Amino acid sequence: MAPLLEVCNLTLRRDDGSGSAILNNLSLEVTEGEVVIVQGESGCGKTTLLQCIAELNIYQHGEVLFRGQPAKAYGIPNYRTHVQYVPQRPSLLPGTPLQFLDKVKQFSARRARCEEIKTSKRGSTDPVTIAQEWGIHRILWDRDWSTLSGGESQRIALAIALGLQGADILLLDEPTSALDPESTAAVEKTLVSMLPEAPISAPKGNNTPRRGTGPRALVWITHDPEQAQRVGTRTLNLSHR
């Protein structure tokens, strides 16, 4: 199976390229159905790697390919509807989550992606419905972001990423770090259930049935070794590089 995503000899250095390397000649392939766990000690470049894959950081060497093509071939805004970064802590945004969701839907790249999804086998899932499965009541979508707790903001931001139904790959930066065990389990179940079947060669750390209605693969940062075992099919440890 051809990889969905290829990271080829990626190097990023501090101080606009003149300093020490945060990522040095790193390569990675991600295939459909995989949950690639990214681990490592603080400061080893986990978040930086995800931001490079999303073309949010400028790197000095290497390339990132999605379905065999660089981001520029798609246009960066369109590429980011296919390969989407979900930060650990959503930025403090003006207004309410519902207003933010409505605004995102109006982006031209997002509208074009929604038209593609309509002709595919992947259905549309309401972010509010997803969030309800994680204990987020409808009323919270009408509250200002600034009034939400860290766990509420984290779940809503993730529900928006899933519910937009455009991303082939979600880049998840500790998506359950602010959640209690019950909410964490619910989020894990939803994420894994929306994936297609994992490659036969990949060990399955989660027995949740997969429907193939959402992202095609996940790249997931976690500091929790038990979570890595539950959801991961493969682990990349940046501390060992």
The CATH number that applies at residue 29 is: 3.40.50.300
pLDDT at 214 over 50: yes
Question: Quick one: pLDDT band at residue 119, thresholds 50, 70, 90?
Answer: very low
Q: What does pTM read for this prediction?
A: 0.90
Q: Which domain holds residue 71?
A: 5-240
Computed from CA positions of residues 95, 97, 100, 106, in that sequence, does the dihedral angle turn out positive or negative? negative
Computed from CA positions of residues 103, 57, 38, 145, in that sequence, does the dihedral angle turn out positive or negative? negative
Rounded average pLDDT over 53-63: 96
Structural domains of the chain, count: 1
pLDDT at 182 over 80: yes
For the ranges 56-60, 116-120, 164-168, the lowest mean pLDDT is seen at 116-120
pLDDT at 181 over 70: yes
Mean pLDDT of the chain: 89
Q: Which residues of 163-188 are buried (b: 16+ CB within 10 A; e: fewer)?
A: bbbbbbbbbbbbbbbbbeeebbebbb
pLDDT at 219 over 50: yes
Question: Quick one: pLDDT band at residue 103, thresholds 50, 70, 90?
Answer: confident
The DSSP letter of residue 168 is: S
pLDDT of residue 97: 94
The strand pair at 69-70 and 234-237 is best described as unpaired
Q: Report which secondary-structure segment, H or E, holds 190.
A: helix 181-193
Instruction: Please give the angle made by the CA atoms of 68, 70 and 71, to the nearest 5 degrees.
Output: 130
Question: Quick one: pLDDT band at residue 147, thresholds 50, 70, 90?
Answer: very high
Fill in the amino acid letter for 2.
A
pLDDT of residue 206: 64
Question: Quick one: pLDDT band at residue 207, thresholds 50, 70, 90?
Answer: confident
pLDDT at 217 over 70: yes
pLDDT of residue 106: 80
Residue 54: CB atoms within 10 A of its CB come to 21
pLDDT of residue 112: 54
CA distances from 60 to 14, 71, 145 (A): 10, 15, 36
For the ranges 17-31, 103-117, 200-214, 222-236, the lowest mean pLDDT is seen at 103-117
How would you classify residue 20: left for phi > 0, otherwise alpha for psi between -120 and 50, otherwise beta? beta
Q: Which residues of 88-120 are buried (b: 16+ CB within 10 A; e: fewer)?
A: bebeeeeebbbebbeeeeeeebbeebeeeeeee
